[in-house]
Amino acid sequence: MGIHVVTGSASGMGAATAETLREAGHTVIGIDLRDADVTADLGTDEGRAAAISEVLERCAGRLDGVAAVAGVGPSTPNAGTVVSINYFHPVRLLEGLRPALAASGAGRVVVIGSNSSTTVPMIDDRLVELLLVGDEEAAREHARGAQAATPAAVRAASPTISAYATTKFALARWARQTAVTPEWARQGVLLNVIAPGAVVTPLMLAGGRAEDLDTDAFPTPMPLGMFGAPEDVAFWVHQFLRPEARFTTGAILCVDGGTDAAMRPDAQPTAMTV
């Protein structure tokens, strides 16, 4: 059995993932702001450094897997917070833990993206550039400025929807670019992305009630006529973290009840051009 890190382990998909892994016999090191093995604010450099240090001490420098699940949603008031938690939390944490994953000989990593990266037409190209070059302060400043320039009606409905979709888009790009580098691929550290859709979690509800949700009235199509549960995502996280999942890296899996397929039926596959 392995040793796995799960961020956002106190609630939602993170809690479901931690429970799934523990039920399978693994040791889980949960990271969250509260009710976790490691309490840390992953939205700050100090919090990330402290979390990395404590994880490495707990695992003695050898990790079998990481599930970077922690995140905030488009109802978050400050776009800078979205930038730091949704993008720089997984990127910085995984950069710090990569040697421990390589030490296991078969490290597995899953990051949680979102189908918003392909179904929300508000991707900020400049913000993507700043994220991918790793300039956190400039990215935070740009995101806050873009938020202020967003029409008031959009901000009222979803204050940071552009920053949310863009950070998830950039995270998927980072994962695909990183997964195939020698430092990851040739060290046996596999890196994949799960892009959930409408999964009923505290993040999705944002203070509302699950019983008030209606798939037929939802802003995006729900072909299965049902919303996802945290366990639906945890199942696939577990599959990607298994040692047997040895020939998959740089993949993005939509776990969204068919929403992306319904909205963009011809988007995949995309033919290569020369």
Please list the active-site residues: 164
Q: Cβ–Cβ contacts within 10 Å for residue 58, how many? A: 15
Residue pair 111/168 in contact by the 8 Å Cβ criterion = no
Residue pair 198/114 in contact by the 8 Å Cβ criterion = no
Query: Which run of H or of E encompasses 231?
Result: helix 230-241
User: In the chain, at which residue ranges do the beta strands (DSSP E only) sit?
Assistant: 3-7, 27-32, 38-39, 65-68, 108-112, 190-196, 252-255
Structure tokens at 48: 């990330």
Chain centroid to Cα 235, Å, comes to: 15
